[in-house]
A and B are shown apart, each in its own frame.
Chain A
Amino acid sequence: MKRREFFKRSFLIGAGFSFLPVSRFCLPELAATPTTSRVVEITHPKIRTGSGIDSSSLEQLLDQGLSYLYQTENPRHIWSQLFSKNDVVGIKVNCLSGEKASTHKLLVELIIERLQRIGIPSGNIIIWDRLNKDLESAGYSINQTNRNKVRCFGNDTIGYDDRLYINGSVGSLITRTLTDLCTAVINVPVLKDHGIVGVTLSMKNFFGAIHNPNKYHHQAGNPYVADLYEFPLIRQKTRLTICDALEAQYEGGPPFKPQWSWPMNSLLLAVDGVALDRVGWEIIENKRKEMNRPTLKEAGRQPEYILTAGKKNLGQSDLKKIDWQKINL
Chain B
Amino acid sequence: MKKSSKINRRDFFRQCSRFGCSGLVLSATLPPLIQNIVAGQSGHQNQARWYEKIPDKRVKCKLCPRECVVDDRERGYCGVRENWDGVYYTLVYGNPCTYHVDPIEKKPLFHFLPGTTAFSLATVGCNVDCQFCQNWQISQIRPEQADNFDLPPRKVAQLTKEAGAPTIAYTYTEPVVFAEYMYDSAVEGNRLGIKSVMISNGYIQETPMRELAEVLSAVKIDLKAFSEKYYREIVSGELKPVLDTLVLLRKLNIWTEIVYLVLPTLNDSDQEFRNLVKWMKTDLGPDIPIHFTRFHPQYKMQNLPPTPVKTLERAREIALSEGIHYVYVGNVPGHSGEHTYCPDCQKILIQRKGFWILENKIKNGKCPDCHKVIPGVWS
Contact = CB atoms under 8 A, between A and B. Distances in A.
Do A and B assemble together? yes
Interface stretch (A40-48, A143-151, A212-220): A212-220
A160 B74 CA distance: 21
Q: Range of interface residues on chain B?
A: 20 to 34
Interface in B64-97: 66, 69, 71-79
Contacts of B144: 131, 156
Given A133-B1, A195-B69, A195-B71, A215 B300 contact: no
B142 interface: yes
B141 interface: yes
Interface string A180-204: 0000000000000001100000000
A171 interface: yes
B56 interface: yes
Nearest to B58: A195
Contact of B129 (A173, A195, A215): A215
Contact of A255 (B3, B72, B236): B72
A249 to B, nearest CB: 12
A299 to B, nearest CB: 12
B321 interface: no
A166 B75 CA distance: 23
A96 B73 contact: yes
A156 to B, nearest CB: 5
B57 interface: yes
Contacts, number: 60
Nearest to B300: A171
* Chain A residues touching B, majority SS: loop
Interface string B260-277: 000000000000000000
Q: Range of interface residues on chain A?
A: 20 to 34
A232 to B, nearest CB: 18
B79 A164 contact: no
Contacts of A253: 71
A217 B145 contact: no
A164 B129 contact: no
Interface in B161-211: none
A254 interface: yes
A133 B44 CA distance: 14
A211 B141 contact: yes
6 contacts: A96-B74, A131-B1, A195-B71, A212-B140, A214-B78, A254-B74
Interface of A: 96-98, 131, 133, 156, 160, 164, 166, 171, 173, 195-196, 211-212, 214-215, 217-218, 252-255, 257
Given A171-B131, A211-B142, A215-B129, 18 more contacts: A96-B73, A96-B74, A131-B1, A133-B1, A160-B145, A166-B300, A171-B299, A173-B141, A195-B71, A211-B145, A214-B76, A215-B77, A218-B66, A218-B77, A252-B71, A253-B71, A255-B71, A255-B74
